[in-house]
Structure 1
Amino acid sequence: MFAKASRFIGEVKGELRKANWPWESDPKIKGFKKYKELVDSTVVVLIAAILLAGFVSLWDIVHTQVVFFLTKLGS
């Protein structure tokens, strides 16, 4: 069992070395410049999430008002 776990961890480490990480590997680059791609991607995701939340909220309000109008109309 321990041999399987050790082999699995070794394989995971090997795959993680092959991964393309979202920061610069150049040791000369310091500070936030090193994480530019990571920060840019995070900003894009946050903006997309905010826009999606606004869109869903708007349609929720519209549909609520339509249902309210139709139920008032029927009574």
Structure 2
Amino acid sequence: MLTKITGFIGEVKGELRKASWPWESDPKVKGFKKYKELIDSTVVVLIAVILLAGFVQFWDFVQVLIVGFLTEIFR
């Protein structure tokens, strides 16, 4: 059992080394410049989430108005 766990952890480490990470691997780059891609991607995701939330809120408001109007008509 322990050899399976050790082998699994070794394989995971090997796969993680192959991954492309969203920060600069050059040791000369310091500060926020190192994380430029990560910050840019985070900003894009936050803007997309805000726009999606606004879209859902708008259609929810429209549907509430429509259902309210229809229930008043057929009352």
* Cα deviation digits, residues 34-71 of structure 1 (max 9, x gap): 00000000000000000000000000000000000000
* Partner in structure 2 of residue 8 of structure 1: 8
Give runs of aligned pairs for residues 50-65 of structure 1, distance below 5 A.
50-65=50-65
* Cα deviation digits, residues 6-46 of structure 1 (max 9, x gap): 00000000000000000000000000000000000000000
Question: TM-score if structure 1 supplies the norm length?
Answer: 0.99
* Partner in structure 2 of residue 31 of structure 1: 31
1:60, 1:67 → 2: CA distance?
Answer: 11
* Partner in structure 2 of residue 43 of structure 1: 43
1:60, 1:23 → 2: CA distance?
Answer: 39
AA matched with 2:56: V
Q: Which stretches of structure 1, 4 residues or longer, exceed 4 Å deviation after superposition?
A: none
Question: TM-score if structure 2 supplies the norm length?
Answer: 0.99
Number of equivalences: 75
Structure 1 unaligned residues grouped into runs of 5+: none
1:26, 1:6 → 2: CA distance?
Answer: 30
Structure 2 unaligned residues grouped into runs of 5+: none
AA matched with 1:67: V
1:14, 1:27 → 2: CA distance?
Answer: 21
